[in-house]
């Protein structure tokens, strides 16, 4: 590989990793992350939640941020969290902002490697789309297409370079992100796409190694796990949409993230040997 195309200087410490979570998942989803991929980036991962928890604050060395946003799945409150995540990134001075949900597993070394292909001093919006068509905004009542844009689905995770994040500052910083969400009445990840693609005129770059539970996780071959950046899981009724990975019993590890972690990092203490 041509060295000039790479930015090998980027290390884990150049990345601000935010994880959106909530009190509803503090005893289910959060402990899985704390046991697995959080251990590989303790200094770089910050959790954005809506509650106080002394034990978690200790376990993360103070990396739980109480956003004071309401604990609900409503657009306004999710946008509130994203807004706080973005503002914290700006304050961090880091080169990359990567957002994930608390039902993501992040392959930390792979994330670092992936960002090395891009220059943080240029404008980059990296992620994966949820559907195969852009969001289309129509004029009422004539139904004339006004504009369309792509967005990276938040449930797969996405990254934004510092250069781009700084350009968004006048429209998105200091809570202004929430006003945009409210104005266009779209979810946080869609609003991010609106700001970047429509207002900033910068295109999303597709990085197919990000994965959300909108995909069928079992379709990912085990031989490819090392190359993937993120994974997810979901439970709909009695059906689990999970990564097909050998390891712990499904009763002990229904999300499969403990098994996935041991598949990738078998040296961890809790992994069988």
Does residue 20 bind ligand UDP (CB under 6 A)?
yes
Is residue 128 a contact residue for ligand UDP (CB under 6 A)? no
Which ranges of 64-154 does DSSP label H, i.e. alpha helix?
75-92, 108-115
Question: Pattern of binders to ligand UDP over 135-164, x per CB under 6 A?
Answer: --------------------x---------
Residue nearest to ligand UDP (CB): 101
**Residue 221, C-beta contacts closer than 8 angstroms, at least 6 positions apart:** none
Selection from ligand UDP, Mn ion, none that 271 binds (CB < 5 to 8 A by kind) is: none
73 or 201: CB nearest ligand UDP: 73
Active site (annotated) includes residue 189: yes
Instruction: Say whether residue 226 binds ligand UDP (CB under 6 A).
Output: no
Radius of gyration of the chain (CA): 18
Contact flag: residue 24 with ligand UDP (CB under 6 A): yes
Nearer Cβ to Mn ion, position 155 or 157? 155
Alpha-carbon torsion angle 47, 163, 158, 26, nearest 10: 10
Quickly tell me which residue has 């409210």 as its tokens.
Answer: 182
Q: How far is 179 from 175, CA to CA, in rounded Å?
A: 7
- CA 174 to chain centroid: 21
Q: How many CB atoms lie within 10 A of CB 254?
A: 16
8 Å CB contact between 108 and 13: no
Catalytic one of 14, 101, 189, 253: 189
Q: Looking at beta carbons only, is 100 or 125 nearer to Mn ion?
A: 100
Q: Which stretch binds ligand UDP (CB under 6 A): 55-63, 70-78, 118-126, 219-227?
A: 70-78
Q: Is 50 in the site for Mn ion (CB under 5 A)?
A: no
Taking the alpha carbons at both ends of the chain, their separation in whole angstroms is 36
103 binds Mn ion (CB under 5 A): yes
Q: Is 209 in the site for Mn ion (CB under 5 A)?
A: no
**Tokens 């792509």, residue?**
150
At 19, which helix (H) or strand (E)? Answer: strand 15-20
Task: Report if residue 88 touches ligand UDP, rule: CB under 6 A.
Answer: no
Positions in the binding site for Mn ion (CB under 5 A):
103, 155
The catalytic residue positions are 189
């Amino acid at each position: 590989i041509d060295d000039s195309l790479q930015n090998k200087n980027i290390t884990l410490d150049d990345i601000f990793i935010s994880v959106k979570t909530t009190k509803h998942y503090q005893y289910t989803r959060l402990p899985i992350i704390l046991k697995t991929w959080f251990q590989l980036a303790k200094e770089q991962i910050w959790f954005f939640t809506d509650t106080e928890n002394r034990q978690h604050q200790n376990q993360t060395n103070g990396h739980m941020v109480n956003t004071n946003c309401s604990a609900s799945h409503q657009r306004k409150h999710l946008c509130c969290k994203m807004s706080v995540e973005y503002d914290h990134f700006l304050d961090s001075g880091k080169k990359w902002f990567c957002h994930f949900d608390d039902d993501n597993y992040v392959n930390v070394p792979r994330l670092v490697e992936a960002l090395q292909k891009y220059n943080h001093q240029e404008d980059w919006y990296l992620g994966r789309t949820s559907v195969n068509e852009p969001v289309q905004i129509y004029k009422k009542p004539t139904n004339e297409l006004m504009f369309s844009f792509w967005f990276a689905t938040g449930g797969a995770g996405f990254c934004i370079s510092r250069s781009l994040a700084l350009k968004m500052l006048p429209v998105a910083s200091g809570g202004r992100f929430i006003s945009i969400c409210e104005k266009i009445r779209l979810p946080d990840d869609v609003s991010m796409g609106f700001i970047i693609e429509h207002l900033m005129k910068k295109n999303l770059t597709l990085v197919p190694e990000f994965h959300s539970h909108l995909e069928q996780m079992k379709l990912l071959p085990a031989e490819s796990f090392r190359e993937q950046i993120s994974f997810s899981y979901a439970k709909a009724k009695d059906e689990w949409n999970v990564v097909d990975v050998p390891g712990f019993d499904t009763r002990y590890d229904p999300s499969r993230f403990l098994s996935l972690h041991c598949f990738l990092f078998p040296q961890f203490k809790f992994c069988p040997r």
